[in-house]
Amino acid sequence: MKKKFNITGTCIPGRHFMCDISGKLEQIMGMTADGDYFTINRPHQYGKTTVLYLLEQQLKKDKDYLTIDISFEGIDSPTYEKHDRFIRTVLNIIQRRLVFMQEKELAVLVEANNMMTDFDSSNVFFTDFILAADRKVVLLIDEVDKAGNNQLFLDFLGMLRTKYLKRNEGKDHTFHSVILAGVHDVKTLKSKIRPEKEKTYNSPWNIAVDFRIDMAFSPAEITPMLADYAAERKVNIDIPFFAEKLFYFTSGYPFLVSLLCKIIDEEILPGKNEKNWRLEDLEQAVQIVLKRDYTNFDSLIKNLENNPALYDFVFKIIMDGHEFSFNRDNPLIHFAATYGILREEKRKTKIHNRLYEQRIYDYMTSKMETSGAAVFDSVGSSYIEADGALNIEKIIRKFQEFMKEQYSKKNRDFIERNGRLLFLTFIKPIINGRGFDFKEVQVSEEKRLDVVITFHDRKYIIELKTWRGESYHRAGIEQLCDYLDRQNAGRGYLLVYDLRRESGRIGDREKIEARGKEIFAAYV
């Protein structure tokens, strides 16, 4: 069977091209060997199920362990309504797993006790089961979010918690390690709890240790996957370069890494005469991903649409270049980090990855267009030169005219909040389908926002900033020169929002020579 890049379900070695997560597995194995109880809580499509599968395969190699994996995926709602039905369902799942593993004696023991109706009885049964197994029994529970707000599930966790504490006191026998997997950290789930039980069940999983292993793929972990792929497909790839570029676009989000690779392999490469990966192939894959519907992106936008405070917070980061400290005690940041919208970088809050940032930006610009606040009569082709280059100066001049005609009487607050979004909305139809633009936020006291437009094989760097005085303006030019140096570019563009009512600069344009760079500056 030919290997492929997988974006759905469990990744299986031998069937799928996979990143090297042996380092992560080694850390998880260490936690398991120590008898820790913990939750692998990460966003959707972040490789949790695959990690559980690989952990189970690893534990199978050690005869001292017996691993039982169960999932709450697909369990119907009535199961959670009565103790006897819930307990029987869990035991039936365990029994089926034991039969499949040919653990016949243990399967018979479970079958003989599957008529229990309460957790006191199941408490005693699990003690007998562990003694009969005569091994370190590890329980893996996937998709715990499906049951996380249900009282019976919390009762079940409470029973495991009690047995864990008594085991440590030498008064009981129980699972050596219990590992849950889901989006949420079960310790902090908001649950539907009866008032009289709040003290008992507010934290039925407070015995669990924190799971701090970084589940994102690093360039070093992406590299072996690309090497495996290149060898099997006989494809020429600059592996270190593309490992870094995949990380650049995805920040190592497992689903997105595999998705970009899958599109290049299955859609872009077959149409080429040569079997080489080029940067433009990856950039084309990015464009394809950004145009398509995926459940992953649907959830991203839904969370923003249903949470105005989060929308506003993300708007300030993406459009205004604001920086915020990362603090999980802030409910807004905690929620967004839990669902993979935000991440922490050097104690600052960042959009998780550039694909998300671009998708959110497309969504926000579309809302600006459909709101009627930005009606443009520009024709994209009129800004493209004969050699395929973009005429950025012409675009900026046209935008100046638009702002003067449409927004000269708008209040300062509106321009300050929406000025950048208006420009980004303006350029969107011009580059749509032929290029894309990524925001490189470089925050200074002028709240700079660098826009890097990739159009065909050319890059254009535009700095958007708000006027904060002459000294800051000069400092901003120096910073733009630094950025141009990093991009190996000799030409840049500066769009300044001057919110002073009588500045005399509105509509001005100038050519600035600085440090061997040519900068076209315009004021709106």
Which of 383, 226, 367 is closest to 308 using CA atoms? 367
SS (H, E, C) 423-475: HHHHHHHHHCCCEEEEEEECCCCCCCEEEEEEECCEEEEEEEEECCCHHHHHH
Kindly list the strands in the beta sheet with 65-71, ordered across the sheet, starting from the edge strand earlier in the chain: 38-41, 177-182, 136-142, 65-71
pLDDT confidence of residue 435: 59
CA contacts within 13 A on the Cβ side of 188: 14
Q: Kindly give, in sequence order, each residue whose CB lies less than 8 Å from that of residue 522, ignoring residues fewer than 6 positions away.
A: 396, 397, 400, 493, 494, 495, 496, 508, 509
Tell whether domain 293-371 is in CATH 3.90.550.
no
Q: Residue 156: which H helix or E strand, with range?
A: helix 151-168
Domain ranges of the chain: 31-201, 219-288, 293-371, 380-524
pLDDT confidence of residue 205: 87
pLDDT confidence of residue 445: 39
Task: Give the integer Cα–Cα distance in Å for 400 and 509.
Answer: 10
Q: What is the pLDDT of residues 341-375, one digit of tens each?
A: 999 999 999 999 999 998 998 898 888 877 766 55
Tell whether domain 31-201 is in CATH 1.10.3470.
no
pLDDT confidence of residue 137: 98
**pTM assigned to the model:** 0.85
pLDDT confidence of residue 201: 44
Regions of the chain with pLDDT less than 50: 190-201, 441-447
Share above pLDDT 90 across residues of the chain, in percent, rounded to a whole number: 58
pLDDT confidence of residue 388: 81
pLDDT confidence of residue 501: 55
Strands (E), 346-390: 348-351
